[in-house]
Amino acid sequence: MRIDSTNVDKYFSSIGVSKFWSEKGTPEIKMHKIHSYPAKFPSLVVEKSLEFAKQRDIEVKKISDVFCGCGTTALEAQINKIDFWGCDINPVATLISKVKSRVYDIELLKSYYTGIKNYYLSNDIKINQDLADHERLNYWFESSQIKDLNKLLVSIQEVTPKGKYQEFFLCAFSNILKKSSRWLTKSIKPQIDPDKKTFSVFKSFKRQFKKMLEANEEAKEYFKSSITSEIETSNFLELNFDKPFTDLVITSPPYVTSYEYADLHQLSTLWLGYVDDYRDLREGTIGSLYHSELDDEDLGSLPQLGQRIVSRMEKIDSRKARMVAKYFYDIKSSVSNVYNMVNEGGLAVFVIGNTKYSNVKVDNARFLTHCMLGGGFKNIEVFKRKISSKILTPYRDEKGRFSNNKTDRKVYSHEFIVTGIK
């Protein structure tokens, strides 16, 4: 059945799980695992998207991901020897993405590591008083850990020149922060573990470096120096594209509670100096009301499905209703922007799941499909994918927040692949 604006509900009610989008793909290389990250989709999605495009005779010379996160699409583009462009509003995400999609000289990495180690061990680095008194850092870290982390960070900055090699080691530094803190291990929401054992900062860094070095050695077999990978830290909703430039967009828009992602990255955000207050990263994220509101005209521009969901939410919680409205408006704007950047005959692949917010079903996939139908895309197809492995917990508590309690609601057992051709 071909989907159009008159049969979206019937189309969704008949969708079964797609074997094509759910089956196991090629095992991921080690570079995919150099830094923990919530809600990343598996490399299978990129592998299947390329196969899907090939089946439809779409030649892919450039791939893009407009919410590139930790760089799964960027890395897979390198592996498949295809140029890449991506962006993300989160500077922690783009740091990881850049490091993942580059190849490094092994001997130079070893040399820099030795230099960092020697600097760390031989220098008595005094801590800046503002850092020592930082309320949020003192909440998460023992004073001794703050001192050692500061010493390590200064060592990295002093020994490595600004650029890709320094970013490699900053990425390594970023991934040991939760282990070095009071953060509850494997928790998907910020909470303290009062019984957590304190780990040695430099021993953790040494293990992380070894892990990233091995991943880089493996990745060199796949990378091709002539491939370009451009990744920028920017708000996709504020970008304007004068002309199309990409053949395939593969992306997973944030969920309605996307502001929580900023909270989950607060340790890296604060230590790497991206903001003074981690909450500032909420500004500009999809669905965030942080310094942003919608007017009645914006709300009225939404497809009717979105207006109905917002109306139901309004009866329960007016603020959450405004958040959902803003989220829908941002999704609609994102679809429009993706359409503008895709070449004629190119393909867009959106990975998105549904959820509940205050017991109101937020039908993201169906809403996005309406946006694509109204946004110029043709030959739209929707597939249901079984989620077998995803770092983002599928559970939500009674308030709709992330939870790892298996007795709470399970909302992400499946997600949808929504595709369209320009």
CB 178 within 8 A of CB 141: no
pLDDT confidence tier of residue 295, bands split at 50, 70 and 90: confident
Question: Rounded mean pLDDT of the chain?
Answer: 89
Residue 10 has pLDDT above 80, yes or no: yes
User: What per-residue confidence (pLDDT) applies to 297?
Assistant: 83
On the question of pLDDT at 400 being above 80, the answer is: no
Q: Mean of the pLDDT values across residues 107-114?
A: 98
| pLDDT reported for residue 251 | 97
**The predicted structure's pLDDT at residue 198:** 82
Tell me the domains of the chain and their CATH numbers: 8-90+235-421 (3.40.50), 106-219 (no CATH)
Mean pLDDT of 106-110: 97
User: Which tens digits make up the pLDDT trace of 84-100?
Assistant: 999 999 999 999 999 99
**Residue 70 and residue 50: Cα distance in Å, rounded?**
19
Mean pLDDT of 112-134: 93
Q: In this predicted model, which residue has the larger pLDDT, 5 or 408?
A: 5
Return the exposure string of 94-116: e unless at least 16 CB atoms fall within 10 Å of the residue's CB, then b. Answer: bbbbbbbbbbbeeeebeebbeeb
103-117, 120-134, 272-286, range with the lowest pLDDT = 272-286
301-325 mean pLDDT: 91
351 vs 409: which has the higher pLDDT? 351
Q: Name the more confident of 65 and 322.
A: 65
Average pLDDT over residues 60-69: 97
The fraction of the chain above a pLDDT of 70, given in percent, is 90
Q: Give the residue carrying structure tokens 């390329």.
A: 50
Per-residue pLDDT reduced to its tens digit, 11-46: 999 999 999 999 888 999 999 999 999 878 899 999
CA distance 185 to 325: 34
Q: How confident is the model at residue 166 (pLDDT cuts 50, 70, 90)?
A: very high
- Mean pLDDT score, 148-155: 97
Who has greater pLDDT, 320 or 374? 374
pLDDT of 401 above 60: no
Whole-number pLDDT of residue 364: 93
pLDDT of residue 12: 92
Window from 13-17, 100-104, 266-270, 356-360 with minimum mean pLDDT: 356-360
